[in-house]
Amino acid sequence: MELNFRSDNESPAAAEILAAVVEANRGTAWSYAEDQWSAQLNAAFSDLFGIATTVVPLSTGTAVNSIALATVTPPWGAVYCHEGAHILQDEGGAPEFFGNGLRLVGVAGANGRLHAADLRHAIKSNNGHGVHSYLSSALSLTQCTEAGTLYQPDEIAALCDVAKEFNMARHMDGARFANATAALGCSPASITWQAGVQMLSFGASKNGCLAAEALLFFGENQWQERAERLRKRSGHLLSKMRFVSAQLLAYIKDDCWLKLATHANHQAAQFAGAVRAHAQAELEFPPAANEVFVRWTASGFAALAAAGIQFLDWPSRTDLARFVFSHSTSDKETEVLCQTLQSLGD
Amino acid sequence: MELNFRSDNESPAAAEILAAVVEANRGTAWSYAEDQWSAQLNAAFSDLFGIATTVVPLSTGTAVNSIALATVTPPWGAVYCHEGAHILQDEGGAPEFFGNGLRLVGVAGANGRLHAADLRHAIKSNNGHGVHSYLSSALSLTQCTEAGTLYQPDEIAALCDVAKEFNMARHMDGARFANATAALGCSPASITWQAGVQMLSFGASKNGCLAAEALLFFGENQWQERAERLRKRSGHLLSKMRFVSAQLLAYIKDDCWLKLATHANHQAAQFAGAVRAHAQAELEFPPAANEVFVRWTASGFAALAAAGIQFLDWPSRTDLARFVFSHSTSDKETEVLCQTLQSLGD
Amino acid sequence: MELNFRSDNESPAAAEILAAVVEANRGTAWSYAEDQWSAQLNAAFSDLFGIATTVVPLSTGTAVNSIALATVTPPWGAVYCHEGAHILQDEGGAPEFFGNGLRLVGVAGANGRLHAADLRHAIKSNNGHGVHSYLSSALSLTQCTEAGTLYQPDEIAALCDVAKEFNMARHMDGARFANATAALGCSPASITWQAGVQMLSFGASKNGCLAAEALLFFGENQWQERAERLRKRSGHLLSKMRFVSAQLLAYIKDDCWLKLATHANHQAAQFAGAVRAHAQAELEFPPAANEVFVRWTASGFAALAAAGIQFLDWPSRTDLARFVFSHSTSDKETEVLCQTLQSLGD
Amino acid sequence: MELNFRSDNESPAAAEILAAVVEANRGTAWSYAEDQWSAQLNAAFSDLFGIATTVVPLSTGTAVNSIALATVTPPWGAVYCHEGAHILQDEGGAPEFFGNGLRLVGVAGANGRLHAADLRHAIKSNNGHGVHSYLSSALSLTQCTEAGTLYQPDEIAALCDVAKEFNMARHMDGARFANATAALGCSPASITWQAGVQMLSFGASKNGCLAAEALLFFGENQWQERAERLRKRSGHLLSKMRFVSAQLLAYIKDDCWLKLATHANHQAAQFAGAVRAHAQAELEFPPAANEVFVRWTASGFAALAAAGIQFLDWPSRTDLARFVFSHSTSDKETEVLCQTLQSLGD
């Protein structure tokens, strides 16, 4: 038994995914995404999303986000995102690199969420000075947010409406898109293109794949060639792309992705309940999917760690830690976590 | 039976490699190359090369080459390579992208090989105009070359000596390094650091891996941090890097890499013999490893294709085709190829 | 009589400067900064600053700032500045362009000034996440600030000390350095290298030149070659650089620069007095040099404009306007401005 | 008397131009190219070229060329030019910098001139490999060429036709456009837009200005905003742009530019005659405007230099030198040059 709640990035691949990789390893296949698995992606994702969808398979979320943003944003363009967004805080400047010096503008918002009025205010504050300012070019939302919270479909639509007002592209970083969709119980369409999102970073590595992500464009778009140029130019066009595409196909087949995410979300909910029941520890943000942020004493966290529980101390905060649950977290592991927390509560 | 000789990129993964991936899929592991497999790389490769070696695992050759070159070359620096080099002709400008506009200078040379005198002449022609010119910064050799030929250790040393004269870094693109090493029957050290090479793009995907490559720095170096910054910034730091590192470890374990390459080289040699024995078809370059370039009539190639043989028509040449042999090419497949060629010879 | 207080950028050149340009227009001269005027810069500025100073003549402040920052900051490096800094708000992303995607981090601070504690906090908040974060690389101070205020020598030293703690380079944007020096009545050394500043964007265009700025490096430095490479690569190495260098020499000769600035500062002080005496209008920031920011009613400003006074309505503020005084602002013009304001005060 | 034939870059400004600068130095003027001089540029150049012309004033030829090319070429685009072109050999990589890693492809051609068949061949050789290759995006011609020769209008049209075939933009580097126009005795339209050129780097600094160049777009274009963004972002939007624009207006007024160039061309023709009459020295290229390339013995050149004549030893050639004549070269100076050459001829 492992008691590792640091990150879903640390989870192994799911059996279905590994089986698909093994299965794809038969004979020769055209290289550079010209293979038969890659050829099925557009149809499979179009079916999933209920709209003509163009799929660009990739192997890291950072690459997907960066290619997406650089595809729609000129070097003198600004991308608006939450101030805690992964693209701003955790990608080592990849968006700026792919985008040749584009700028990310972080906007504050409670619980990891942007609000339409704040977004509009930020855009207005940055506009109106012509070539001396950056051009407001794109909005990037994160679903689930970095705080483990969610946007409802109408909230997404409201934010996309603001972006449309200013003629900006709309992107969603869906590193945990499966967890969001499973938690909301909605269709994937309802929180993406139906709400105004044009591009989705469809994450899969955190939820059961070895290394598989996809950039999705919804509906007619003129961006595919740019995205494919950037994919090659950034060294992300794998010669044996079949192994990535095979993962993606298996991942969305028979609701595999949602089953895996539902399991992870359920574990998180159990733990959230334990935190709520605890005398001292508190929930920093209202948990909605597979991440739980706990505010507690440094000594409390130290005791938890001493009991063998692994979690993430939040950078530059001694009173905050993150617990993440994945498709591979067992009921038993979650139970031990909850009991251990409880035992330290008195 | 497949008769696909288009590219070793199209081959499946070797059994040993796939087994290593499956084996690595046990439980959680630290993400972003902090896992236990990645932690073994430096020692394993240091042992293989007989010198302290720093390993940066990656998943594509384009990324390895580009990170290597961008690490040692300023934006105003020039990299010298053969005019047919992959970095110049086939990577969609990735070196220029990673290197923020560095310049690649192609130098002509028979049989895909650079010659020391030509290299020196090219460098001198580009120097001496101060800030108005690019600064000669690096040499990039390809082993095996794009023509399927090889450099002998002393030829590499002579080229590296020229680069040293001008204070330039020395890089080797070893996309088919295993085939070269196996063909030469030499130690990997003898054609790299012992000959003056400082950085090696150690290829593995073409020779049995799913997607695994490594950037190696030999001896003491000040470049590792830059390389790791670039890896993250370009979206190449896989969260589940364990699966790449596990491939690399299995690949070099027990001479697996050399066994796979030796098999491929042997197939190529059989076919080269068949071409030599043929009445019309000729060898464009002297084959030395796992690639055979054949010069023949367009009708001859058409007949071969009609017989079900798959190979690569060389771009903008109707009289040239490339045949590549891989670890997965069976004796039987090669035999059918040779017989088919022979049958079309009269 | 003009009543233009919009910007010192709109002022004409001073007579001394224009005379120097005319004087430099005699016969041929080596191009690309190899001329006899450029050759005198290092000595002249070393004399002025009391330390060996390397001078890189340029023609815009944006170029100077961007070359300075890109010279000391890697693409994955962060530059800390005030949230209102010109490099962040008004240069169209030039620092990001020259710096290949470096990041500017804006830090809040009253009256346009950074405070050491806030700077340290911002740096700490951005550090500690390795390659996932930007590397804190440089501090950029603005003197005079964008609010028309000043740093005292000890305040500069305190900020530079924080930067030193984190091994960061220290830059000063001195677009109005003359106004600052004149206002403080200090030596130029005391607010630059003696306080820890390593690079100065020495502005001259706003204070009497046609188009002349200089990047100064104080003391021994390893940055000159990078700066000169960037100057050429960005198209800023004028073929007839003699005309820029001649302006710079004339500008600092016989305290010309300080005389011009003192005049401008004096005009501003007159107006600041008028604002203080006014019943409704107020000073937004404590004026210290040649800029005065006035908070007043929209109708008040409208009346002033209707009276023929030209000033800058502050972007997205209806209650704020900027008045700038230059070397060419006459006593009479300032007097009319003050009287007009007074007449609208009742 | 000066005997400086090194470069027209070393010449002083013409009296008409200097007078215009002095004249422009009256009172305040809007900054950042919003002044009354800049406002006249479009009309003045439209009149000169006989077509609606958009003018972007700048201060160096490198900036003009780089902004032009980066405006029409994506980072993954290739620009074709002569192998000796200034953009390829002498701009320190500025086009690659402005173009975020675009690639320049040099094509050989006698006498500094591209030929349509060679251009087509080069484009075809680089195309057809999808994202693995650069996208052929632009043609850049130089008029006068770097060899001091000229293209006739129909030659330009033939080259532009090839570019059009491949959907490529057409640019002309006219650093010595005045000399070309004067020498051909043609209309400026005939060698630009009427022949298919869409963008012209209109040079003026070498022919009498202090520092003034312009990027011209002919006819309707969608590029102006990109060019203006790049101008600001690269630090080339001078605050006091009036002084550049005033130069440009004076330069084209009353055929001033052609008079200056005609004078320079005439001097060159005198010297070319002297070379033709010489027993040993020979013309390397057929001189057509204001540059003369002489092939001679190293000892011959040494003797000429010893006699006080200044010229440019061609890099990495001991038997070649360049002599350039400018608007400021006096008849007497040319006469002394010719006589000195003659005296060394026996």
8 Å CB contact between B111 and B286: yes
Question: Does A101 contact C101 at a Cβ distance shorter than 8 Å?
Answer: yes
* Confidence category of residue C1, pLDDT binned at 50, 70, 90: confident
What confidence tens digit (pLDDT) does each residue in D139-153 have?
A: 999 999 999 999 999
What confidence tens digit (pLDDT) does each residue in C235-253 have?
A: 999 999 999 999 999 999 9
User: Which residue in D131, D228, D232 is closest to A232 by CB distance?
Assistant: D131
What confidence tens digit (pLDDT) does each residue in C43-96 have?
A: 999 999 999 999 999 999 999 999 999 999 999 999 999 999 999 999 999 999
pTM of the full predicted structure?
Answer: 0.97
pLDDT of residue D346: 57
* Confidence category of residue B21, pLDDT binned at 50, 70, 90: very high
- Smallest CA–CA separation between C133 and chain A, in Å? 5
Residues 86-145 in D contacting B (C-alpha not used; CB under 8 Å): 89-93, 96-97, 99-103, 124-125, 128-129, 131-134
Is the model's pLDDT at A1 over the cut of 90?
A: no
pLDDT of residue B175: 98
Amino acid letter for position A262: T
Is the model's pLDDT at B163 over the cut of 80?
A: yes
* A101: closest chain B residue by CA: B100
pLDDT of residue C346: 57
Chains that touch C (3 or more CB pairs under 8 A): A, B, D
CB contacts of A206 in chain B (<8 Å) are: 239
| Residue C279 burial (C-beta neighbours within 10 Å; 0-12, 13-18, 19+) | exposed
Is the model's pLDDT at D128 over the cut of 80?
A: no
Alpha-carbon span B234 to B58, nearest angstrom: 11
In what side-by-side order are the strands of the sheet with C282-283? C282-283, C291-295, C320-324, C312-313
Classified as helix, coil or strand, A167 is coil
Cβ neighbours around C213 below 10 Å, total? 29
What confidence tens digit (pLDDT) does each residue in A272-282 have?
A: 999 999 999 99
* Confidence category of residue D49, pLDDT binned at 50, 70, 90: very high
Domains, chain B, in order of start with CATH, read 3-9+257-343 (3.90.1150.10), 14-255 (3.40.640.10)
* A77: closest chain D residue by CA: D229
User: Which one of B1, B210, B215, B310 makes the best mutation probe of the A interface by having the most chain A beta carbons within 10 Å?
Assistant: B210
- Smallest CA–CA separation between C147 and chain D, in Å? 19
Is the model's pLDDT at B346 over the cut of 70?
A: no
DSSP C287-308: --SSEEEEE--HHHHHHHHHTT
* B312: closest chain A residue by CA: A30
How much is the average pLDDT of D104-123? 98
What confidence tens digit (pLDDT) does each residue in D264-322 have?
A: 999 999 999 999 999 999 999 999 999 999 999 999 999 999 999 999 999 888 999 99
CB contacts of A234 in chain B (<8 Å) are: 63, 94, 97, 234-235
User: Which one of B239, B241, B334 makes the best mutation probe of the A interface by having the most chain A beta carbons within 10 Å?
Assistant: B239
Residue given tokens 């040239």 in the structure block: B320
How much is the average pLDDT of C124-147? 94
User: How many residue contacts between A and D have a Cβ separation below 8 Å?
Assistant: 33
Q: Which residues contact B293 (CB under 8 A, 6 or more apart)?
A: B147, B148, B283, B284, B285, B287, B314, B320, B321, B322, B323
8 Å CB contact between B191 and B143: yes
Question: Does B91 contact D132 at a Cβ distance shorter than 8 Å?
Answer: yes
Any chain C CB within 8 A of the CB of D36?
A: no
Interface TM-score (ipTM) > 0.90: yes
Any chain C CB within 8 A of the CB of A203?
A: no
User: Which residue in A74, A100, A232 is closest to D132 by CB distance?
Assistant: A232
How much is the average pLDDT of B219-229? 95
Residues 280-309 in D contacting A (C-alpha not used; CB under 8 Å): none
pLDDT of residue C315: 86
- Smallest CA–CA separation between D134 and chain A, in Å? 9
What confidence tens digit (pLDDT) does each residue in B62-101 have?
A: 999 999 999 999 999 999 999 999 999 999 999 999 999 9
Question: Does C228 contact B100 at a Cβ distance shorter than 8 Å?
Answer: no
Most distant CA atoms of chain A, gap in Å: 62
Question: Does D93 contact B75 at a Cβ distance shorter than 8 Å?
Answer: yes
Question: Does A99 contact C99 at a Cβ distance shorter than 8 Å?
Answer: no
- Smallest CA–CA separation between D331 and chain C, in Å? 15
* Confidence category of residue D127, pLDDT binned at 50, 70, 90: confident
Q: Tokens representing C91?
A: 């240069």
How much is the average pLDDT of B6-23? 98
What confidence tens digit (pLDDT) does each residue in A5-50 have?
A: 999 999 999 999 999 999 999 999 999 999 999 999 999 999 999 9
Alpha-carbon span B123 to B132, nearest angstrom: 15
Chains that touch B (3 or more CB pairs under 8 A): A, C, D
pLDDT of residue A346: 57
For chain C, the average pLDDT equals 97
- Smallest CA–CA separation between D87 and chain A, in Å? 21
Helices (H), A168-254: 177-184, 224-233, 242-252
Any chain D CB within 8 A of the CB of B318?
A: no
What confidence tens digit (pLDDT) does each residue in A64-109 have?
A: 999 999 999 999 999 999 999 999 999 999 999 999 999 999 999 9
Classified as helix, coil or strand, D212 is coil
What confidence tens digit (pLDDT) does each residue in C284-326 have?
A: 999 999 999 999 999 999 999 999 999 999 988 999 999 999 9
Question: Does A92 contact B238 at a Cβ distance shorter than 8 Å?
Answer: no
User: Which residue in C10, C236, C244 is closest to D235 by CB distance?
Assistant: C236
pLDDT of residue A127: 80
What confidence tens digit (pLDDT) does each residue in B108-121 have?
A: 999 999 999 999 99
Question: Does A132 contact C91 at a Cβ distance shorter than 8 Å?
Answer: yes
Question: Does C133 contact A103 at a Cβ distance shorter than 8 Å?
Answer: no
Nearest to B176, CA basis, from B148, B139, B216: B148
Is the model's pLDDT at C126 over the cut of 90?
A: no
pLDDT of residue D129: 87
